[in-house]
Structure 1
Amino acid sequence: MGTKRRRGGNGGMEENALAILDTSCFSKSTQHIADDRLSFLEAVRSGFLVPENPPAPTNKIYKAVFQILKDENSLYLITSSYQLLLELDKRFPHVYLSTAKKSELSSPSSLPCNELVVVEEAWSPFSFGTDVSSSEKEDHGKTSESLDVTAFHLLIQDLTKVPDEENNEVLDSKPLRNMLLFQYLVSVLEGDFVLRNLAFTENSDWITLRESLLNMILVSRKITYKGLIKDWLSAMCELSQFSIDCSHDLRPSETESPEVTEKSHTALAIALPEIVKRTCVSVQKFLLMIIELDSSKKTADTKGWTTRADGVRTQAMEIIMEELTYDKNILFPFLQALDKPKLKLDMIVQYFQKYIPKTSVRTRRSNGSTDDSTFGGVLKCFSNGNNTKSIIKKINTEVAQLLLAHAFQAYISLHSTENKEDIADNSLPEICKNMISAFTCLKKTDEHTVIPPFGKEALFTAAIMLSGV
């Protein structure tokens, strides 16, 4: 891994841009201050994004833009600062791959290799130093230049409150600001983690992955890791349900400042559905990165590359499966929200494995034995009346139908892509046939059961696919 010291910004340009922001800008709220902040953002864009080869912004520039994103109430300034930060990170990445020149290779015939470069002393929106004061924690670190781990956890908790806050009579900009702030932070985590994880995969470089921002958050003692995952799960379910219907009263509040007009409320309402949708995507990205990190750490543990300092952490999948097992009220919204077919299929199969009866003795020559670690194996278990009766004693028929329907939906999605190695256990016709058989067996076992709409849709799809074979 290479390191590179961040280039200093254009001193004159930086001074001129920062001069626009008076120290009082972050303690008062007037139209003049809003104009100054907008002028500052435009100056940063002109100085660092428009030129062909501009110097990288200094940390002072980043901190000022980030503070606007954290503090502003104006939707335009919130979105402008958010977009500017994304563009700056894209043009001046903190972690990137650099292809070695031929003269630097050991031999002329050597293929160019990609070296991971981490910019030394680059600005980060995260702070992993000492604990901030309690007042800063309550204000989510708004008086500080970056967010500590506790503030990040609190931000995730705030995402669970978005539906309640936005269902009030008056639309508020705070929930939208929190959602865009979370989206940006996940973007930073992704830009840092993906390349480090790639370096680990290709070069077994666990130390580099250990120093990723994501890992530093998860191992922090300032938060409870299990609590973070539970709050993530709540945020995902709440936001997913809320995204279905984002209708609001656009009347301005009587207590709002004169600058907040009916026009601004209309703008908030128009922006809300898309922001909620993109936040749901970021919430899932956050989980996927954690799952990938868990997998890489497990590999590093197996190879003996980790030390006691790395600690022991329960994998996120185990925590989520435990929550889904003991709180079936969140099962439906979770499956409805999760739009990653491979992950959804794997999780449902794992869920069923807890309830599928295990035979007392299995020999190598056992006939009719099924592999319940695959979706095909799970469906075959439901072809047996005794197995089905045992399963629905532990989970009711409705839950079983819900899981089978979502698993089938995920299977079909994977089958329509090129990644068919994930579903190579059974052919599509066999899966469709066993899907119909499983629902038939459920109906026979529980005569009073009613197949819900999503179950009927899955059966209809299976029947159509079978008829077309």
Structure 2
Amino acid sequence: MGTTRRRGGDGGMEENTMAILDTSCFSKSTQHIADDRLSFLEAVRSGFLVPENAPAPTNKIYKEIFQILRVENSLYLIMSSYQLLLEFDKRFPQVYLSTVKKSESSSPSSLPFNELVVVEEAWSPFSFGTDVSPSEKEDHDKTSGSLDPIAFNLLIQDIIKVPDEANTEVQDTKPLRNMLLFQYLVSFLEGDFVTRNLSFKENSDWITLRESFLNMILVSRKIIYKGLIKDCLSAMCQLYQFSMDCSHDLRPQKTESTEVTEKCHTDLAIALPEVVKRTCVSVQKFLLMIIELDSSKKLADMEGWTTRADGVRTPAMEIIMDELTYDKDLLFPFFQALDKQPKLKLDMIVQYFQKYIPKTSVRTRRSSDSTSNSTFGGVLKSFSNGNNTKGIIKKMSTEVAQLLLAHAFQAYISLPSQDSSESKEDDNDDNSLPDVCNHMISAFTCLKKTDGRMVVLPFGKEALFTAAIMLSGNSGV
């Protein structure tokens, strides 16, 4: 574990800003409370972000900003509190890496290294270990200023309902508020996990990663881990499909409502589509972090750094593959939603195909079937064999096969070669760009020969056209 540092605060500034939220006068109107909250947010921004050397906000101030984000109905206050929390996390990170020189360290290495610094008693939007009854939970959540794993999972389930809630005639800020709250929580988890994971890779200290907020959520006995992953899949697909349907005008029809109310509804309708898209991306980030954590935990297990206390957890990738296998309705919305994550998309499609590519009945020491299909080039080569192709489409249908191939090819050409094991420039294997393009065309040809009634879908035609253009423009082919 790296060093810890206590975060200081300005007691006088806290007292002055918190006084703005004095709610002892119960006769205050909703508008007066909203005005006080707005004044509070402006005072906090002026006191802690504008000055160059301002101290970090205290936990009480963080808690109040977070509560405004969680309970406010005003679109402006929701957006303001959300943005303020993001700016604070960027300016005053909870964990960070500090470069330690030889003179400052007892390490025998002559090279400087990055040490993880954890801010002691820093505020967090998550709480762990508090046991409350279901009847007390709502009141506890409102007063604690933080969410436990159950509340986080319930938030994801609420996000699944966003398309239904947004399509009702009653305009409500709750769907947008829930999505922005989730976006912030994922951003917080990302800042904590990514930093700790980098430290783990550099210093081989599993404990730092075990204590990440992401890991503590996943190992919590309060939630059903597999259910959490399934909820994320549903939320991701629902949001993606809804974002595709948001091209129409969501603004309400002219009514006899007041001009202020009408403007609020219009602003909400305009903001909703973009917030939906960003929330879909946040769900993807959350799943990707879990997959990366699984990878790091697997390495820690192999090196003997874990203990019994770490437990055993089914890798998220396996759960996702099983869900996509048994629920075909999730298949295409899921991969379409991964357009911004080409590496993850390609890896998952390759794994999906591996479930259906026939295995050889006899294997020798020289047999490489177990590894040849682990890359996109290897998957494409499997379609060069008529019997293999027949076996694949018998299990998944011609339509599914060609759409998955097209999605995988789209992801492949979107990848920077240095970020993927699917090297586009390695001419010694089947994953070079010319070879993949050739095998892509051959795979569709073999599909057509195997299934004489096959009609190449528009997305498949687009992929084939792209492959042909790339081949014609490659002077080395």
Alignment correspondent of 1:57 = 57
Residue 430 (structure 1) aligns with: 435
Greater mean alpha carbon deviation, residues 92-101 or residues 353-362: 92-101
Q: Distance in 1 between matches of 2:180 and 2:61?
A: 19
**Are the counterparts in 2 of residues 48 and 55 from structure 1 also a CA contact under 8 Å?**
yes
Measure the CA separation in 2 of the matches of 1:384 and 1:6.
Answer: 63
Look up the match of 2:275: 275
**CA drift at 1:366:** 6.4
RMSD: 2.4
Superposition map of 1:338-357 within 5 A: 338-339=338-339, 340-357=341-358
2: CA distance, partners of 1:399 / 1:79: 41
Mapped to 2, the partners of 1:303 and 1:366 lie a distance apart of 29
The separation in 1 between residues aligned to 2:293 and 2:311, in whole angstroms, is: 14
Residue type of the partner of 2:250? H
Q: Distance in 2 between matches of 1:422 and 1:271?
A: 38
Judged with a 3 Å threshold, the aligned counterparts in structure 2 of structure 1 residues 359 and 40 are, in CA distance, closer, same or farther, namely same
Say which is worse superposed, 129-138 or 38-47, in terms of deviation. Answer: 129-138
Q: Does 1:227 align with 2:219?
A: no
SS in 2 for 1:168: coil
One-letter amino acid matched to 2:385: N
Asked if the contact 2:209/2:215 (under 8 Å) is kept, the reply is: yes
Matches within 5 A, 1:388-399: 388-399=389-400
Structure 2: distance between partners of 1:3 and 1:388: 58
Question: Distance between the aligned counterparts of 1:400 and 1:26, measured in 2?
Answer: 64
Tell me which residue corresponds to 2:450: 445
Output the amino acid matched with 2:32: H
SS of 1:97 mapped into structure 2: strand
> How many equivalent pairs are there?
465
Q: How has the CA–CA distance of structure 1 residues 47 and 442 changed in structure 2, closer, same or farther, with 3 Å as cutoff? A: same
Q: Which residue of 1 aligns with 2:204?
A: 204
Q: Which residue of 2 aligns with 1:328?
A: 328
Q: Which segment is superposed worse, 124-133 or 87-96?
A: 124-133
Cα displacement string for residues 26-77 of structure 1 (whole angstroms, at most 9, x for unaligned residues) = 9976111111000000111111111121122111100001000000011100
| Corresponding position of 2:461 | 456
> How far apart are the structure 1 equivalents of 2:445 and 2:66?
57
The 8 Å contact of residues 360 and 369 in structure 2, kept in 1 or not, is answered as no
Amino acid corresponding to residue 294 of structure 2 in structure 1: D
Structure 1 gaps of 5+ residues are none
Contact in 2 for aligned 1:97/1:116 (Cα 8 Å):
yes
CA spacing shift, 1:367–1:263, aligned 2, 3 Å: closer
Q: Is the 8 A contact 1:180 1:275 kept in 2?
A: yes
Give 5+ residue unaligned stretches, structure 2.
Answer: none
What's 1:17 paired with?
17
Once the two structures are superposed, the pairs formed by residues 158-307 of structure 1 within 5 Å of their partners are: 158-246=158-246, 247-251=249-253, 261-307=261-307
TM-score normalised according to structure 2 size: 0.92
Deviations 1:308-352 (A, max 9, x none): 111000000000000000111110000100121111111111111
Q: Which residue of 2 aligns with 1:319?
A: 319
Deviation at 1:361, TM superposition (A): 1.3
The equivalent of 1:409 in structure 2 is: 410
Contact 1:3/1:120 (<8 A) preserved: yes
Percentage of identical aligned residues: 81
The CA deviation at 1:421 is 4.1
CA contact (8 A) 1:140 1:151 kept: no
Question: Are the structure 2 counterparts of residues 79 and 370 from structure 1 closer, same or farther at C-alpha, using a change threshold of 3 Å?
Answer: closer
The whole-number CA distance in structure 1 between the counterparts of 2:137 and 2:393 is 46
Amino acid at match of 1:6: R
Say yes or no: does 1:80 pair with 2:80: yes
CA 253–70 in structure 1, closer or farther in 2 if over 3 Å, else same: farther
Q: TM-score, normalised by structure 1?
A: 0.93
